[in-house]
Copies of this chain bind each other. A is one copy, B any other.
Amino acid sequence: MNVIIDLCVVPIGVGLSVSKYVAACHKIIKDAGLESELHAYGTNIEGNWDAVFDVVKKCHEKIHDMGAPRITTTIKAGTRTDRDQTMADKVASVKAKL
């Protein structure tokens, strides 16, 4: 089962800047070989369900290791069985109607 997620990880208790934690997550995503797209309020990732959610777990573990004692994350996750659809397909589908 493939999934597209939007991942937004927020470390708490480490001050105002969260970009270094987001960058660390980006490296984890890349190391997993998954397609991803950074945007201004999260990162979209696509791939096999287990691989994608393994990355989410590794991001939590890494951010705790970096010193954040608390993390709150928001995830949107989409699956479909009627057809394959990539992140690029989703954007193209909307843009074709603009």
Contacts and interface: CB of A to CB of B under 8 A. Distances in A.
For this complex, into which size category does the number of interface residues on chain A fall? 35 or more
A71 B64 contact: no
A31 B49 CA distance: 21
Nearest to A92: B19
A84 B8 CA distance: 20
Copies of the chain in the assembly: 4
B26 A98 contact: yes
Contact of A69 (B60, B81, B90): B81
30 contacts: A1-B57, A1-B60, A1-B64, A3-B60, A5-B41, A6-B6, A10-B12, A12-B18, A13-B15, A16-B69, A16-B80, A23-B97, A27-B98, A37-B40, A38-B94, A38-B95, A39-B91, A40-B46, A40-B88, A40-B91, A41-B42, A42-B76, A49-B57, A50-B57, A53-B53, A64-B79, A69-B82, A70-B79, A73-B75, A75-B76
